[in-house]
Chains A and B, each alone.
Chain A
Amino acid sequence: MKALRAHVGMELRLSLRQGEQLLVSIGIPLLLLVFFSLVDVLPKPAGVTAPVDFLTPGIVALAIMSSAMVSLGIGTGFERQYGVLKRLGATPLGRPRLVAAKILMVLVLQAMQLAVLLSTAAALGWRPSGGMALLPVAVVAGTAAFAGIGLYLAGTLRGVANLAVCNGLYLVLLLFGGMIVPLDRLPDALETAARLLPSAALSEVVGGTLGNATISTQAWVVLVVWALGAPTLAAARFRWHPAP
């Protein structure tokens, strides 16, 4: 317990200490939320009048993706490259506790993100109309999916390549994830493809739980498949030692 607590603390301090990590996990989602809520230039889905009502679920989904995929993935990739994971392998910490510490770190980070983003959205006039009962399920499923992707990249690519791929993927998943641009504004073929992405599925599910909209079965299925498949792939392919 002492080891786990100490390790969660270290993981949290490291992610909060690094400016670029904070920028990705809190800065960018907050900026997008405030800017596009105040500057009404983005297309909105039919029936939505205030931009903040469309943006809030998408930005919550974005925040989950940022902490689980980008923050965790880049941090772990560099830890692998610098031999930290290898060195930890020669301590009594053990892989189960290391993985548990990383999961807890991400969950704590997400609680902080949600507190900041939801209170900002409320200040901008957003009110939840859904019961939010399924929000924790959406958060856990989304975290599993994105952490799986982030750890797969971290465990197979070199540090800098991992950094580049993580950031590139972040942008693609953001643009094709229904987070700031509604999916129905995409060309049909692109929209169909985008609906298979974990980001689109997560924003639809979060939108449903926050806004009392119906969630398509497809969104749940896509999200669950990613939530199971990506961590499985990561566990199978993860390399703990630095690339030679």
Chain B
Amino acid sequence: MAATADSNDGTSPHDMPTDMPTDMPTGCDGRREPFDTKSDGVNPSVGPAIEVQDLVVRYGGRATGEVVAVDGVSFDVHPGEVLALLGPNGAGKTSTVEVLEGFRTPSSGTVRVLGLEPSAQHAQLMPHIGVMLQEGGVYPAGRPREVLELFAAYYDDPADPAELLDRVGLTERATATWRNMSGGEQQRLALALALVGRPRVVFLDEPTAGIDPTGRQLIRSVIAELRTDGVAVLLTTHDLDEVERLADQVVIIDHGRVLANGAPVDLMRSQPSDEIRFGAPAALDAAALAHHLGVDADAVREVTPGEYVVAVTPSPKHVAAVTAWLAEHDLPLADLRAGRQSLEDVFLRLTESAKASELVRSASAAAPTHAGSGARTRGQARRSGRSGRSR
């Protein structure tokens, strides 16, 4: 699964200095051999680097009521593969990652990282994984160079701290203290710390949250290099654009359950849309365009200022008619998409419909709601669903 591996946007290795460790043994396809045969209990066989089977994580006790954070999640990540775990806040992403990092024990299900059980075989696993927490993780008074050198001392064969510092663009900030660094600088240092032990599996929990475009680009290029080196990467993110460019595999979860699992391209293809979307100046005369296309006036909608959806079959004829109308009025066209959804559309549709079906369940269990507009019914059902759960 490397559907988008080579098509990402200028984050190919040549654009960046390639001073990542390259002296690892390489397989016949040029990738780093995923598993060496050190007798440290790490699975020497070729197989998934990460295996998650029917994982369930429950929290809470008598006082707060039990919360099921992860409810039967399964997926595999192979060496040299980037898997993106997507989901709304509270979907169970971090809980899943924390089980894989060995911070939590699963309530049920099996989890293996490099063939090891992360919590029971924690000490054996730690030399081989790199972790970037969602936030923090560094001494507030620590300085990038010394912290990186400190972490390097924990590993037998670490990457060169100075090179790594340079790789993440922090050489000039090497002696700043963590508490005085910007959010983006902190993220870049946290990434370098995840890589200093030359891990074979990397867990990145929202690596690009709150980071500027340059930093974002840099983190993407580092992830692309990790994949080339045969490292298995699991990242959680809200940045769907990033996932479209970077991930080989996407797992969308909500309320602890997997809603979809596959390559981004396949997910986008599997949800064909019966519409044409385009970007143009805001506040166009939608009714006039509808008239021109010979469709009902409400078939053309401006969903957000400057973004239009035309509910017609995305045929070349209709696309031509839309662009012709724009040309006739001398209007610029910013973006045009016909018959294919962005990952964001897929994500929203899946998480919304999951919410809706849950609402149906909880609404039928609770008192019947009055029929009103769809949105109102949904809102009421959601409220009744919440109160139902908290009981």
Taking Cβ atoms with an 8 Å cutoff, the residues of A that contact B are 2-3, 5-7, 9-10, 13-14, 17-18, 78-79, 82-84, 86-87, 89-94, 241-242
User: Given A87-B131, A87-B136, A17 and B154 touching (CB < 8 A)?
Assistant: no
State the Cβ distance, B92 to closest chain A Cβ, in Å: 16
State the Cβ distance, B147 to closest chain A Cβ, in Å: 8
Enumerate chain B residues within 8 angstroms of A7, measured Cβ to Cβ: 150, 153
A3 adjacent to B137 (CB under 8 Å): no
Q: Output the nearest chain B residue to A3 by Cβ-Cβ distance.
A: B154
Complexed CA–CA distance, A90 and B103 (Å): 8
Enumerate chain B residues within 8 angstroms of A87, measured Cβ to Cβ: 131, 133, 136-138, 193
Chain A interface, DSSP helix/strand/loop, else mixed: helix
Enumerate chain A residues within 8 angstroms of B123, measured Cβ to Cβ: 92, 94
State the Cβ distance, B33 to closest chain A Cβ, in Å: 21
Q: Total interface residues on B, using CB and 8 Å? A: 27
Taking Cβ atoms with an 8 Å cutoff, the residues of B that contact A are 101-103, 123, 126-127, 129, 131, 133, 135-142, 146-147, 149-151, 153-155, 193, 197
State the Cβ distance, B135 to closest chain A Cβ, in Å: 7
B150 adjacent to A6 (CB under 8 Å): yes
Enumerate chain B residues within 8 angstroms of A78, measured Cβ to Cβ: 140
Q: How many A-B residue pairs have CB under 8 A?
A: 71
Q: Output the nearest chain A residue to B152 by Cβ-Cβ distance.
A: A6
State the Cβ distance, A154 to closest chain B Cβ, in Å: 14
B139 adjacent to A79 (CB under 8 Å): yes
Enumerate chain B residues within 8 angstroms of A79, measured Cβ to Cβ: 139
B154 adjacent to A82 (CB under 8 Å): no
Enumerate chain A residues within 8 angstroms of B101, measured Cβ to Cβ: 90
State the Cβ distance, B243 to closest chain A Cβ, in Å: 24
Partner of B139, one of A3, A5, A84: A84
Complexed CA–CA distance, A79 and B139 (Å): 6
Partner of B140, one of A82, A90, A242: A82
Q: Output the nearest chain B residue to A15 by Cβ-Cβ distance.
A: B141
A18 adjacent to B141 (CB under 8 Å): yes
Partner of B150, one of A10, A18, A242: A10
A84 adjacent to B197 (CB under 8 Å): no
Can you list 18 A-B pairs with a CB-CB distance of less than 8 A? A2-B153, A3-B153, A5-B153, A6-B153, A6-B154, A7-B153, A13-B146, A82-B136, A83-B133, A83-B135, A84-B138, A86-B136, A86-B137, A89-B102, A90-B126, A92-B123, A92-B127, A242-B136
Complexed CA–CA distance, A87 and B139 (Å): 10
A91 adjacent to B154 (CB under 8 Å): yes
B150 adjacent to A82 (CB under 8 Å): no
Complexed CA–CA distance, A131 and B341 (Å): 83
Enumerate chain B residues within 8 angstroms of A17, measured Cβ to Cβ: 141
For A10, A92, A93, A242, the residue with the greatest tally of chain B CB atoms inside 10 Å of its CB is: A92
Complexed CA–CA distance, A90 and B197 (Å): 11
A14 adjacent to B141 (CB under 8 Å): yes
Enumerate chain B residues within 8 angstroms of A93, measured Cβ to Cβ: 154
User: Given A2-B153, A6-B153, A13-B146, A92 and B136 touching (CB < 8 A)?
Assistant: no
Enumerate chain B residues within 8 angstroms of A241, measured Cβ to Cβ: 103
B154 adjacent to A84 (CB under 8 Å): no
Enumerate chain B residues within 8 angstroms of A5, measured Cβ to Cβ: 153
Complexed CA–CA distance, A202 and B68 (Å): 49
Complexed CA–CA distance, A174 and B385 (Å): 56
Top 5 A-B pairs ranked by shortest CB distance? A83-B136, A87-B137, A6-B153, A90-B131, A82-B136
